[in-house]
Amino acid sequence: MSDCIFCKIANGEIPTTVVYEDDLVMAFEDANPQMPVHTLIVPKAHYANMNDDMPDELMGHLFNTVKKVAEIKGVAESGYRVIVNTGEDAQQVVKHLHIHVLGGAKMNEGSP
């Protein structure tokens, strides 16, 4: 998708702070972090959200990246929250599937 911001990040067109990358996925720091740790994980190929028809293998790989990111960011032991906003009611803003990995502090009612 030529006008998709996360496609541009994933293909290197827009510079970002990369946390983890392989052939299929990229993890990078959220531009507006809601917690001390706020990393996004995306498939490099464009899928709009969880409803999109993604191969099981890629979906598995994408979600397996969560624990790698948690290790890299140092929150595997302390704990973290995983959020995937999907569609309008969830207020998904960027229409390229992404996993939020949030942590680094105790969460409360006001946490994302």
Q: What residues act catalytically?
A: 98
Find the largest Cα–Cα distance for the chain. 39
The site partner of 7 among Zn ion, ligand 5GP, none (C-beta below 5 to 8 Å per kind) is Zn ion
Residue 24 partner contact from Zn ion, ligand 5GP, none using kind-dependent CB cut-offs of 5 to 8 Å: none
Q: Where in 12-41 is the site for ligand 5GP (CB under 6 A)?
A: 16, 28-32
Under the binding rule (CB under 5 A), the answer on residue 14 touching Zn ion is no
- The residue from 62, 65, 85, 101 that contacts ligand 5GP (CB under 6 A) is 85
Task: Encode 48-73: b = buried (16+ Cβ within 10 Å), e = exposed.
Answer: bbeeeebeeeeeeebeebbebbbeeb
Of 22, 21, 57, nearest to 39 by C-alpha is 21
